[in-house]
Amino acid sequence: MAATDAPVSRIRRLPDALVNKIAAGEVVERPASAVKELVENALDAQARTVSIDLRDGGAALVRVTDDGLGMTVDELPLALERHATSKLARDEDLDAIATLGFRGEALAAVCAVSRFTVTSRARGAAEGLRLGGEGGAVIQRLGVPCETGTTIELRDLFFNTPARLKFLKSPPTELSATLRALSQLALAHSEVQLRVANNGRPVLTAPAAATLKERIGALWGWDLAARLLTVDRAEHGIRVAGHASPPDVSRGGRDDIIIIVNGRPVRDPALLQAVLAAYRPILARDRFPLVVLAVTLPPADVDANVHPTKAWVRFRHPRLVQEMLVAALHDTLQRPTAAPSTVEWAASGAAAASSRETALVGAQSALFAETAAPYTKAAAFGRVLGQVQDTFIVATTDDEVFFLDQHVVHERVLFERLETDLATGAAPSQTLLFPDPVALPPAARALLERWRGPLERLGFGFDDGPGGTVVVTAVPTLLKGDEPRRLLEAAVDELGGPKAGEPAVDRALAFLACRAAVKANTVLAREEMERLVAELAQTRTPFFCPHGRPIVSRVSMGDIRRELKRTW
Ligand SMILES: Nc1ncnc2c1ncn2[C@@H]1O[C@H](COP(=O)(O)OP(=O)(O)OP(=O)(O)O)[C@@H](O)[C@H]1O
Ligand SMILES: [Mg+2]
């Protein structure tokens, strides 16, 4: 082989400009991602006001101006380089990230794929510095008088990456993606004022808000915000707080389910599923809730460093976070105010929901609520068709098919009936003619003493028997068929279990309702099913049992028709 034919190495180090372009490809997918990065930087710099000017949804121009800390003349050139950040100093910082940014990549990335101008003046500095250039290379450097804060302008996004440019959608589509990203950040940071204009016209204005509800009002409308329910639960070092729609306010898509983790809007399929699971019993399959939930937990329990756009996070205890979300939503959705009137939730389905929403918009809403149609009984679940597996009652309206868990239905009915009894005195009680002494271990006796008050209000009667035994002198009428000894043991067992924090009477009530309710695997006559379903429809909370389990599974006829390709 001739010397001149010696193989040349095919592997070479890429020039910096190309490396930056490749890296930018991961961070900047479309104008929305550039806007997101710039606004996140402004928020990290403690801005109070952020103004965003767009042309063509951001494809032609993105200009983000903030009144935050700004950068000094020494910092600014560094900020444009890759792997340069003020947000991480030591290795350990990566384990507990407290800022939105931390990779030191975003500015370098957006500048690598645009014609850019970056102007900044640090607090206390006499004047600002402006750097301009394109494709990541700085061409111009200029001292300028300007306000404290930072303005970053990107023109002609992807001008030097034709492949990416080709994938840009129409300006309205890009604008809507940009506004979606901005709304999420706006919801995560209510205290910051945001102004967004596109082609010179204001498209989103959110004044600094004192509460999340106020912010939701500015973004989604005040009437809607007023109808949302409050969510707030803190446990195990995790807090879940925010707002969620009642069952009669819903959407055709999932865009308005927003989950924020330590100030960062995230896309997390498992958390999304948790929200959907909480709503499953109360929404038809093709309807989705509006939810804004802020999850706050120690930074060391979340890893934000799992995806270049930082839209995904990983939790140290994912199951716990999911369960907290479901529990927080259950708390809210089980509250009596969450259940719409029978009339409203009977008419589900897209058409009904949208007409209802329209009807409620505007100044008339209060009036409308007051003059709502009269309470029509038992229309909600429609006609009872029968029983499946001796456990589920099947009923149908024109729009939906319902599967109701007979035990849980009955439990809910009894629970509310007992609540009413208690509100007007004591629950009905049956005195035992031949009471038996029951021997209980000391721990169980102590527990019984603790629960004596609520149990007596529910209709139990106790006396001290010989040799430290307990004599059951009366039982709630609902449980008169139950053997007193087994009943007492079950009560002690249940009340001694976890959930120590719940109100005593509620737990005793739930125990009683569960004990007395018809069991699964029990054949029911049609009249019994009809009565149960009619009674359920009249409860205040027909969606969850007192323990928080769902009562109803529903399938919309719309889904069934679509699946079977029915065109009418
Ligand atoms: N609007 C701004 N105001 C003040 N400082 C800023 C601003 N934007 C960027 N900086 C500074 O420039 C640095 C680099 O910004 P860049 O967005 O590239 O990285 P980052 O925010 O640290 O991390 P990430 O790549 O995850 O966003 C930041 O760490 C910050 O110090
Ligand atoms: Mg950043």
Q: What is the pLDDT of residues 40-87, one digit of tens each?
A: 999 999 999 999 999 999 999 999 999 999 999 999 999 999 888 988
Which-ligand-closest: CA of 20?
1
Position 398 pLDDT exceeds 70: yes
Which-ligand-closest: CA of 104?
1
Over pLDDT 90: what percentage of the chain?
Answer: 49
**Which uninterrupted H or E stretch holds 489?**
helix 484-495
468/477 Cα distance (integer angstroms): 26
177/157 Cα distance (integer angstroms): 15
Q: Which pLDDT value is given to residue 354?
A: 38
Measured by CA distance, the residue closest to atom 19 of ligand 1 is 104
Structure tokens at 199: 């082609």
28/61 Cα distance (integer angstroms): 14
In DSSP notation, 200-248 reads TEEEEEE---SSHHHHHHHHH-HHHHHHPEEEEEEETTEEEEEEE--TT
Pick from 107, 110, 114 the residue to mutate for probing ligand 1's pocket: most ligand atoms within 8 Å of its CB: 107
Non-local CB neighbours of 185 within 8 Å, separated by 6+ positions: 36, 39, 40, 43, 194, 265
562/184 Cα distance (integer angstroms): 32
CA of 50 to the centre of ligand 2 (A): 15
Q: Which pLDDT value is given to residue 367?
A: 29
Tell me the residue ranges of DSSP E strands in 451-541: 461-464, 470-476
The amino acid at 303: D
- Give 295's strand partners: 240, 261
Residue 504's CB is within 10 A of a number of other CB atoms, namely 15
> At residue 20, what are phi and psi to the nearest 5 degrees?
-65, -40
- Yes or no: say if 179 and 196 are a contact pair by the CB < 8 Å rule: yes
Angstrom CA distances, 229 to 240, 248, 329, 402, stand at: 13, 12, 10, 25
Give the residue among 79, 166, 163, 160 at the shortest CA–CA distance from 112.
Answer: 160
pLDDT digits (tens, 9 = 90+) for 522-563: 999 999 999 999 999 888 777 777 666 778 888 888 888 888
The DSSP code for 131 is: E
Average pLDDT over the chain reads: 85
CA of 21 to the centre of ligand 1 (A): 18
Q: Which pLDDT value is given to residue 548?
A: 65
Residue 306's CB is within 10 A of a number of other CB atoms, namely 11
The DSSP code for 124 is: T
| Number of helices (H), then strands (E), in the chain | 19, 23
CA of 213 to the centre of ligand 1 (A): 29
282 band by pLDDT with thresholds 50, 70 and 90: confident
CA of 20 to the centre of ligand 1 (A): 16
Q: With the CA atoms of 548, 554, 556 and 557 taken in that order, what torsion angle do they form, in degrees rounded to the nearest 10?
A: -170
Residue 310 Cα: closest atom of ligand 1: 26
Measured by CA distance, the residue closest to atom 17 of ligand 1 is 106
CA of 100 to the centre of ligand 2 (A): 7
Measured by CA distance, the residue closest to atom 21 of ligand 1 is 101
Structure tokens at 469: 């035994």
Mean pLDDT check: name the lowest of 15-19, 194-198, 401-405.
15-19
Pick from 39, 41, 93, 118 the residue to mutate for probing ligand 1's pocket: most ligand atoms within 8 Å of its CB: 41
**Which uninterrupted H or E stretch holds 113?**
none
Q: Which pLDDT value is given to residue 551?
A: 85
The amino acid at 411: E
- Give 198's strand partners: 54, 201
Angstrom CA distances, 522 to 125, 373, 544, 547, stand at: 80, 37, 21, 21
Tell me the residue ranges of DSSP E strands in 484-538: none
Which-ligand-closest: CA of 46?
1
Which-ligand-closest: CA of 94?
1
86/105 Cα distance (integer angstroms): 12
Position 337 pLDDT exceeds 70: no
CA of 37 to the centre of ligand 2 (A): 6
- Yes or no: say if 206 and 52 are a contact pair by the CB < 8 Å rule: no
CA of 45 to the centre of ligand 2 (A): 10
216/290 Cα distance (integer angstroms): 11
Q: Which pLDDT value is given to residue 25?
A: 79
> How, if at all, do strands 49-55 and 193-198 pair?
parallel
- Yes or no: say if 304 and 259 are a contact pair by the CB < 8 Å rule: no
Which-ligand-closest: CA of 309?
1
Residue 109 Cα: closest atom of ligand 1: 18
Q: Is the pTM of this model over 0.75?
A: no
Measured by CA distance, the residue closest to atom 8 of ligand 1 is 41
Q: Cβ < 6 Å from ligand 1: which residues?
A: 37, 41-42, 45, 66, 68-71, 79, 84-87, 101-108, 150
426/40 Cα distance (integer angstroms): 58
- Give 396's strand partners: 383, 401
Position 5 pLDDT exceeds 80: no
CA of 79 to the centre of ligand 2 (A): 9
Q: Can you tell me whether residue 261 is helix, strand or coil? A: strand
The DSSP code for 85 is: -
Measured by CA distance, the residue closest to atom 29 of ligand 1 is 85
- Cα–Cα–Cα angle for 155, 159, 160, rounded to 5 degrees: 130
Exposed/middle/buried for 489, CB within 10 Å: 0-12, 13-18, 19+?
Answer: middle
> How, if at all, do strands 229-235 and 149-155 pair?
unpaired
Measured by CA distance, the residue closest to atom 31 of ligand 1 is 86
CA of 181 to the centre of ligand 2 (A): 15
114/107 Cα distance (integer angstroms): 11
Mean pLDDT check: name the lowest of 132-146, 355-369, 475-489.
355-369
Position 368 pLDDT exceeds 50: no
Exposed/middle/buried for 219, CB within 10 Å: 0-12, 13-18, 19+?
Answer: buried
Position 460 pLDDT exceeds 70: yes
